Amino acid sequence: MNNEFSTEEPLPRSLAGRLAAIGLSPKKAVEYLALFVVLTGIYYFYFVRDARENACPTDDPITFAQLGVLILKFLFFTSWPFALVAFWDAEWTSKDAGYLFLAAYLFTNFLWYLKTGCAPCIFAASFRIVPYCFCALVAHSLGAAWHRKEKEI
């Protein structure tokens, strides 16, 4: 019985060779890593801030004008990395942004679980993902719009 598996090419030993073997360029790998770290930091900051605000609620009502400012601040602070990478790299796709957004969001939930020891509520996590996803989509579209203009010319 022959149990040996033969491949035509041996597995590459360098990191760049391994990345190329899975179809990922070194440039895109650096973008993935940098964006993952930045997004995890941003999302974790919002988790901690939200937990403090929920633990110490105030009775101050939010006016309609304040709500608009809060939404714009949230949009800016959580989505600037997507716009920056989409503007910088013409090959960056919404699929890349989606994978990275989901990985950073799930990892942040995991970090929050490790810090607090509380099992996350799946409904709270799913409701919280909607504004983050919306902000990522808007920012990616704004950043990628520059490259669409260049292709049209």
pLDDT in tens, 103-115: 998 898 888 888 8
**pLDDT at residue 127 above 80?**
no
Q: Examine residue 93 and state whether it is found in any structural domain, yes or no.
A: yes
In angstroms, the CA 14 to CA 19 distance is 9
**pLDDT at residue 119 above 70?**
no
Contact of 38 with 48, CB cutoff 8 Å: no
Q: Examine residue 77 and state whether it is found in any structural domain, yes or no.
A: yes
Q: Examine residue 122 and state whether it is found in any structural domain, yes or no.
A: yes
**Other C-beta atoms lying within 10 Å of the C-beta of residue 38:** 16
Alpha-helix residue ranges (DSSP H) falling in 22-121: 26-55, 64-88, 94-116
Q: Examine residue 52 and state whether it is found in any structural domain, yes or no.
A: yes
**pLDDT at residue 35 above 90?**
yes
Total domains present in the chain? 1
Q: What is the mean pLDDT of residues 46-57?
A: 68
Q: Which domain holds residue 131?
A: 25-152
**pLDDT at residue 10 above 60?**
no
Q: Examine residue 11 and state whether it is found in any structural domain, yes or no.
A: no
Which position has the higher pLDDT, 39 or 128? 39
Q: What is the pLDDT of residues 62-101, one digit of tens each?
A: 788 888 888 888 888 888 999 999 898 888 888 888 889 9
